[in-house]
Amino acid sequence: MNVPLADPRLLGRQVKRIAISEEEIQERVRELGQAITDSYPDGELLVLGLLKGSFIFVSDLVRSVMRPLQVDFLVVSSYGSDVVSSGLVRLVYDPETTLEGKHILLVEDIVDSGRTLSRVIDVLQERQPKSIEVCALLDKHVSTFLPHPPKFVGFNAPNEFLVGYGLDHAENFRHLPYVASLQ
Ligand code: PRP
Protein backbone atom coordinates (compact mmCIF):
# COMPACT_ATOMS: atom_id res chain seq x y z
CA MET A 1 0.00 0.00 0.00
CA ASN A 2 1.35 3.40 -0.92
CA VAL A 3 1.59 6.17 1.62
CA PRO A 4 -0.67 9.00 0.48
CA LEU A 5 1.75 11.55 -0.89
CA ALA A 6 -0.60 14.30 0.20
CA ASP A 7 -0.28 13.34 3.87
CA PRO A 8 0.93 16.63 5.40
CA ARG A 9 1.92 14.81 8.60
CA LEU A 10 4.96 13.38 6.82
CA LEU A 11 6.28 16.78 5.72
CA GLY A 12 8.33 15.25 2.94
CA ARG A 13 9.93 12.60 5.14
CA GLN A 14 10.14 9.24 3.46
CA VAL A 15 8.36 6.18 4.71
CA LYS A 16 8.61 2.92 2.81
CA ARG A 17 5.08 1.64 3.10
CA ILE A 18 2.04 1.56 5.31
CA ALA A 19 2.42 -1.70 7.21
CA ILE A 20 -0.96 -1.49 9.00
CA SER A 21 -3.66 0.90 7.85
CA GLU A 22 -5.77 3.15 10.05
CA GLU A 23 -8.86 1.06 9.24
CA GLU A 24 -7.12 -2.22 10.16
CA ILE A 25 -5.96 -0.75 13.46
CA GLN A 26 -9.38 0.63 14.38
CA GLU A 27 -11.10 -2.67 13.63
CA ARG A 28 -8.55 -4.67 15.61
CA VAL A 29 -8.73 -2.26 18.55
CA ARG A 30 -12.49 -2.81 18.71
CA GLU A 31 -11.92 -6.60 18.73
CA LEU A 32 -9.33 -6.28 21.49
CA GLY A 33 -11.71 -4.12 23.50
CA GLN A 34 -14.36 -6.81 23.22
CA ALA A 35 -11.91 -9.56 24.23
CA ILE A 36 -10.79 -7.52 27.24
CA THR A 37 -14.39 -6.82 28.24
CA ASP A 38 -15.15 -10.56 28.10
CA SER A 39 -12.01 -11.48 30.08
CA TYR A 40 -12.85 -9.37 33.11
CA PRO A 41 -16.40 -10.23 34.23
CA ASP A 42 -15.76 -8.83 37.70
CA GLY A 43 -13.24 -7.08 39.89
CA GLU A 44 -11.52 -3.72 39.56
CA LEU A 45 -9.63 -3.19 36.31
CA LEU A 46 -6.72 -0.74 36.06
CA VAL A 47 -5.35 -0.09 32.57
CA LEU A 48 -1.71 0.99 32.80
CA GLY A 49 -0.19 2.50 29.67
CA LEU A 50 3.58 2.42 29.24
CA LEU A 51 4.66 5.83 27.94
CA LYS A 52 5.36 7.24 25.62
CA GLY A 53 4.64 4.74 22.88
CA SER A 54 1.25 3.54 24.12
CA PHE A 55 -0.48 6.91 24.43
CA ILE A 56 -2.65 6.65 21.30
CA PHE A 57 -3.33 2.92 21.65
CA VAL A 58 -4.49 3.34 25.26
CA SER A 59 -6.83 6.18 24.40
CA ASP A 60 -8.48 4.20 21.59
CA LEU A 61 -8.48 0.89 23.45
CA VAL A 62 -10.15 2.03 26.67
CA ARG A 63 -13.04 3.48 24.68
CA SER A 64 -13.71 -0.02 23.33
CA VAL A 65 -13.78 -1.70 26.74
CA MET A 66 -17.38 -1.90 27.92
CA ARG A 67 -16.96 -2.21 31.68
CA PRO A 68 -15.83 0.06 34.50
CA LEU A 69 -12.09 0.70 34.59
CA GLN A 70 -9.41 3.12 35.69
CA VAL A 71 -6.55 4.47 33.56
CA ASP A 72 -3.05 5.43 34.62
CA PHE A 73 0.38 5.52 33.04
CA LEU A 74 3.94 4.43 33.74
CA VAL A 75 7.20 5.95 32.61
CA VAL A 76 10.20 3.66 32.82
CA SER A 77 13.80 4.78 32.84
CA SER A 78 16.06 3.13 30.31
CA TYR A 79 19.52 2.06 31.41
CA GLY A 80 20.57 0.92 27.94
CA SER A 81 20.35 -2.40 26.19
CA ASP A 82 23.27 -3.91 28.10
CA VAL A 83 21.33 -3.88 31.34
CA VAL A 84 19.35 -7.06 31.62
CA SER A 85 18.64 -7.33 35.32
CA SER A 86 14.98 -6.81 36.11
CA GLY A 87 16.00 -5.30 39.44
CA LEU A 88 17.36 -2.21 37.72
CA VAL A 89 14.18 -0.84 36.24
CA ARG A 90 13.12 2.46 37.73
CA LEU A 91 9.69 3.99 37.46
CA VAL A 92 10.20 7.64 36.52
CA TYR A 93 6.48 8.21 36.85
CA ASP A 94 4.78 5.96 39.33
CA PRO A 95 1.01 5.40 39.01
CA GLU A 96 -0.88 7.28 41.69
CA THR A 97 -3.61 4.66 41.75
CA THR A 98 -3.21 1.78 44.18
CA LEU A 99 -2.52 -1.58 42.51
CA GLU A 100 -3.28 -3.90 45.39
CA GLY A 101 -6.16 -6.30 44.71
CA LYS A 102 -6.81 -4.95 41.20
CA HIS A 103 -6.65 -6.58 37.79
CA ILE A 104 -3.80 -4.77 36.00
CA LEU A 105 -3.77 -4.57 32.22
CA LEU A 106 -0.39 -3.28 31.09
CA VAL A 107 -0.58 -1.71 27.62
CA GLU A 108 2.45 -1.59 25.30
CA ASP A 109 2.75 -0.32 21.75
CA ILE A 110 5.29 -2.94 20.71
CA VAL A 111 7.03 -5.94 22.26
CA ASP A 112 10.50 -6.33 20.77
CA SER A 113 12.98 -8.13 23.03
CA GLY A 114 10.38 -8.17 25.80
CA ARG A 115 12.87 -6.82 28.34
CA THR A 116 10.89 -3.69 29.16
CA LEU A 117 7.78 -5.71 29.94
CA SER A 118 9.58 -8.29 32.04
CA ARG A 119 11.20 -5.65 34.18
CA VAL A 120 8.05 -3.61 34.66
CA ILE A 121 5.98 -6.66 35.57
CA ASP A 122 8.53 -7.69 38.20
CA VAL A 123 8.24 -4.26 39.81
CA LEU A 124 4.43 -4.22 39.65
CA GLN A 125 4.10 -7.74 41.10
CA GLU A 126 5.57 -6.46 44.37
CA ARG A 127 2.45 -4.31 44.81
CA GLN A 128 0.22 -7.36 45.08
CA PRO A 129 -2.29 -6.86 42.27
CA LYS A 130 -4.93 -9.52 41.80
CA SER A 131 -3.63 -10.24 38.28
CA ILE A 132 -1.34 -8.76 35.64
CA GLU A 133 -1.85 -9.25 31.92
CA VAL A 134 -0.36 -7.49 28.91
CA CYS A 135 -2.04 -6.03 25.85
CA ALA A 136 0.37 -5.14 23.02
CA LEU A 137 -0.62 -3.57 19.73
CA LEU A 138 2.36 -5.18 17.99
CA ASP A 139 4.46 -8.22 18.83
CA LYS A 140 7.71 -8.85 16.99
CA HIS A 141 8.05 -12.37 18.41
CA VAL A 142 11.79 -11.83 18.72
CA SER A 143 12.15 -13.35 22.15
CA THR A 144 12.01 -17.12 22.34
CA PHE A 145 11.12 -17.00 26.02
CA LEU A 146 9.00 -14.38 27.72
CA PRO A 147 8.04 -14.89 31.36
CA HIS A 148 4.81 -12.95 30.72
CA PRO A 149 3.78 -13.21 27.06
CA PRO A 150 1.04 -10.74 26.08
CA LYS A 151 -2.45 -12.18 26.50
CA PHE A 152 -3.88 -9.71 23.99
CA VAL A 153 -1.97 -8.91 20.76
CA GLY A 154 -3.16 -6.67 17.97
CA PHE A 155 -0.83 -7.70 15.15
CA ASN A 156 2.29 -9.70 14.53
CA ALA A 157 4.84 -7.05 13.62
CA PRO A 158 6.95 -7.35 10.48
CA ASN A 159 10.68 -7.24 11.14
CA GLU A 160 11.06 -3.66 9.95
CA PHE A 161 11.59 -0.33 11.69
CA LEU A 162 8.05 0.74 12.45
CA VAL A 163 6.70 4.21 13.20
CA GLY A 164 3.30 5.76 13.75
CA TYR A 165 0.30 5.24 16.05
CA GLY A 166 2.57 6.07 19.01
CA LEU A 167 5.83 4.59 17.72
CA ASP A 168 8.61 7.04 16.95
CA HIS A 169 11.90 7.58 15.24
CA ALA A 170 13.80 10.29 17.14
CA GLU A 171 10.44 11.42 18.57
CA ASN A 172 8.91 11.94 15.12
CA PHE A 173 5.98 10.12 13.48
CA ARG A 174 4.12 9.28 16.71
CA HIS A 175 1.00 11.09 15.50
CA LEU A 176 0.43 9.05 12.34
CA PRO A 177 -2.93 7.23 12.51
CA TYR A 178 -1.36 4.20 10.76
CA VAL A 179 1.81 2.12 11.27
CA ALA A 180 4.44 2.63 8.58
CA SER A 181 7.89 1.21 8.00
CA LEU A 182 10.86 3.48 7.40
CA GLN A 183 13.12 3.25 4.38
C1 PRP B 1 9.93 0.99 23.02
C2 PRP B 1 8.51 0.46 23.04
C3 PRP B 1 8.51 -0.55 24.14
C4 PRP B 1 9.93 -1.08 24.12
C5 PRP B 1 9.96 -2.41 23.44
O6 PRP B 1 10.00 1.99 23.98
O7 PRP B 1 7.57 1.49 23.27
O8 PRP B 1 8.23 0.04 25.39
O9 PRP B 1 10.73 -0.14 23.37
O10 PRP B 1 11.26 -2.93 23.42
P11 PRP B 1 11.69 -4.26 24.22
O12 PRP B 1 10.59 -5.27 24.08
O13 PRP B 1 12.95 -4.67 23.47
O14 PRP B 1 11.97 -3.89 25.63
P15 PRP B 1 11.07 3.16 23.93
O16 PRP B 1 12.19 2.84 24.88
O17 PRP B 1 11.48 3.44 22.50
O18 PRP B 1 10.29 4.38 24.54
P19 PRP B 1 8.95 5.12 24.03
O20 PRP B 1 7.80 4.23 24.43
O21 PRP B 1 8.97 6.41 24.79
O22 PRP B 1 9.02 5.31 22.54
Mean pLDDT, to the nearest integer, of 9-20? 86
Say if 9 falls within a structural domain. no
Say if 173 falls within a structural domain. no
| 83: confidence class by pLDDT, cuts 50, 70, 90 | very low
Distance of CA 117 from the midpoint of ligand 1 (Å): 9
**94-135 pLDDT per residue, tens:** 787 899 999 999 999 999 888 888 889 988 999 999 999 999
Say if 122 falls within a structural domain. yes
Say if 40 falls within a structural domain. yes
Q: Which of 84, 89, 92, 109 to probe ligand 1 with, by most ligand atoms within 8 A of CB? A: 109
Say if 4 falls within a structural domain. no
Helices (H), 92-166: 115-125
Residue 77 near residue 71, CB atoms below 8 Å: no
Q: How far apart are CA 46 and CA 173, in angstroms?
A: 28
CA distances from 134 to 10, 112, 152 (A): 31, 14, 6
Say if 121 falls within a structural domain. yes
Nearest to 43 by CA among 152, 129, 168: 129
Say if 100 falls within a structural domain. yes
Domain count, the chain: 1
Amino acid identity, position 107: V
Nearby residues of 83 by Cβ (< 8 Å), 6 or more positions away: none
Indicate if 112 belongs to the active site.
yes
Domain range for 34: 22-162
**Per-residue pLDDT for 82 more than 90?**
no
Residue 64 sits in a domain whose CATH number is: 3.40.50.2020
Residue 160 near residue 181, CB atoms below 8 Å: yes
CA distances from 159 to 1, 113, 127, 165 (A): 17, 12, 35, 17
Q: Which atom of ligand 1 is nearest to the CA of 111?
A: 12
**DSSP label at 169?**
B
The total of other beta-carbon atoms located within 10 Å of residue 104's CB is 23
Distance of CA 113 from the midpoint of ligand 1 (Å): 9
**Per-residue pLDDT for 4 more than 80?**
no
Distance of CA 119 from the midpoint of ligand 1 (Å): 12
- Give the DSSP letter string of 68-94: --EEEEEEE----TT---GGG--EEE-
Pairing of strands 162-163, 179-182: antiparallel
Residue-level pLDDT at 133: 97
**Per-residue pLDDT for 139 more than 80?**
yes
**46-75 pLDDT per residue, tens:** 999 999 999 999 999 999 999 999 999 999
Residue 137: CA atoms inside 13 Å, Cβ hemisphere, count? 30
Q: Which atom of ligand 1 is nearest to the CA of 113?
A: 13
**Per-residue pLDDT for 81 more than 50?**
no
Say if 126 falls within a structural domain. yes
Q: Whose CA is nearest to atom 10 of ligand 1?
A: 112
